[in-house]
Amino acid sequence: MDREIEHIPVLLNESIEYLITDKSGIYVDATLGLGGHSKKILDEIDNDGKLIGFEVDPKAILISSSKLDKFKQFTIIKNNFDKIKVELYGLGFNKIDGILYDLGTSNLELNDSERGFGFSSKGDLDMRMDPTLKNTAKNIINNYSLEKLISIFFKYGEERMSKQIAQAIAKEREKYTIDTTDKLAKIVSKFSNYKYRNKTLARIFQAIRIEVNNELNVLQKSLTEAINLLKTGGRLVVISYHSLEDRIVKNTIKEATTNCICPPELPVCVCNHKASLKKITHKIITPTLSEMKNNPQSRSAKLRVAEKI
């Protein structure tokens, strides 16, 4: 396979073992990508099973559909996974047996310098997974207010030099348009010494990518809808790659596995909240050392699984 479009699926066996509880069930791959996890699901389910894959990146859709078209049980939805409820209802499914999220970007996106996800090669400051989105990294960097830039770098990049970096960007953009990854990287690089430079750059690029794709909000909305769609015994399986998305997954599962969510100072329950999930993985599952060695991109992966009750 072309090196550029190779994407090794992360925690493949573990995630699919947890996901499939009924070989004739209806499953959703919320993040189809290049179809690595979907292929395994399709190999595991039988002819009566169904798999619906969501994807917003047209290039990923082209590649995965050419790989998986031969499977009659497979349908692609070219839409954001935050539209899961309306899209599944549209297909006539109001209950599912399991859903998998393998969050973040694929190698197809990361390695395409033109799309500006990475800081190690020159490309347009774009960062849209879905090219129909209006917001781009270029718009954020050149048009957002100083305060908004500081807040994004701090909230989505957890970067302690957020203020200084945002100020430097605001100063530079008065002189020229910051429209490529290398121009941005040059400004950001001044705020850390050589040893930590890549970490600082990674935090700032992550923050911009999250803002462009509205990643945390769509994840929260989708998880809530997915939990409602699961049948009793159906599984929610999520692989996350950074602390912000993992926190959303962890807190969503925590709330859904708790009977009462009233503030602790209340003497009696007034919320009437009932748990809808039980945890299947009590400890986070992480890749084995050999998986990390074979696929360094899996290093930060965390797998959480819960089941509808």
Ligand X SMILES: C[S@@+](CC[C@H](N)C(=O)[O-])C[C@H]1O[C@@H](n2cnc3c(N)ncnc32)[C@H](O)[C@@H]1O
Binding region for ligand X (CB under 6 A): 7, 9, 31, 33-37, 54-57, 60, 80-81, 102, 104-106, 129, 218
- Cα gap 226→248, rounded to integer Å: 14
Pick the closer one to ligand X by CB: 27 or 81. Answer: 81
- Cα gap 211→206, rounded to integer Å: 9
In the complex, the smallest distance separating the C-beta of residue 243 from ligand X, rounded to whole angstroms, is 17
Pick the closer one to ligand X by CB: 54 or 191. Answer: 54
Residue 149 tokens, joined: 């830039």
Residue 132 tokens, joined: 């129909």
In the complex, the smallest distance separating the C-beta of residue 266 from ligand X, rounded to whole angstroms, is 36
In the complex, the smallest distance separating the C-beta of residue 80 from ligand X, rounded to whole angstroms, is 4
Report which of 216, 57, 212 is spatially closest to residue 135, judged by C-alpha positions: 212
Pick the closer one to ligand X by CB: 200 or 298. Answer: 298
Pick the closer one to ligand X by CB: 33 or 234. Answer: 33
- Cα gap 62→20, rounded to integer Å: 26
Pick the closer one to ligand X by CB: 214 or 258. Answer: 214
The neighbouring-strand residues paired with 239 are 102, 303
- Cα gap 7→164, rounded to integer Å: 36
Interior angle at CA 247, CA 141 and CA 134, nearest 5: 30
In the complex, the smallest distance separating the C-beta of residue 272 from ligand X, rounded to whole angstroms, is 31
Pick the closer one to ligand X by CB: 129 or 141. Answer: 129
In the complex, the smallest distance separating the C-beta of residue 76 from ligand X, rounded to whole angstroms, is 11
Q: What is the dihedral of CA 210, 214, 215, 220, to 10 degrees?
A: 140
Report which of 56, 62, 52 is spatially closest to residue 85, judged by C-alpha positions: 52
In the complex, the smallest distance separating the C-beta of residue 137 from ligand X, rounded to whole angstroms, is 15
